[in-house]
Amino acid sequence: MNQQKLPNATAVLVLGIVSIVSCCCYGIPGLITGIIGLVLYKKDNALYQQNPTLYSDYNNLNTGRILSIIGIVLSVLYILYLIFAIAFIGFDALSDPELMQERLRDLQN
């Protein structure tokens, strides 16, 4: 029997990798690409579960899902870090190193 590749398995894998790489760009691109990767995973997984013998790229699909989940978690953690930094240090101190050092000293004492 001729097996064909799942239509979005490579896209899910690439989106998972991009999600991890771009999580440090303020978290938003990593979050978006990770969510898109999970949506595409869900579609292809349903297709694979209907007829597993017809498709061959399930390992790439599963790896892409894991990478997308890791990218989403890292993005959310980075967004929470940014919220924490803005709340305790202040937005103006993020662009002024001297003011940031002063605020960090204040937080330590």
Residue 66 has pLDDT above 90, yes or no: yes
CB atoms near residue 37 (< 10 Å) = 27
Q: What is the pLDDT of residue 107?
A: 86
Q: Could you please report the per-residue DSSP string of 53-95?
A: GGB--HHHHHHHHHHHHHHHHHHHHHHHHHHHHHHHT-TGGGT
Q: Over range 45-69, report the average pLDDT.
A: 95
pLDDT digits (tens, 9 = 90+) for 78-93: 999 999 989 988 888 8
Q: What is the pLDDT of residue 32?
A: 97
Q: What is the pLDDT of residue 60?
A: 95
The answer to whether the CB of 64 falls within 8 A of the CB of 41 is: yes
pLDDT band per the 50, 70, 90 thresholds, residue 1? low
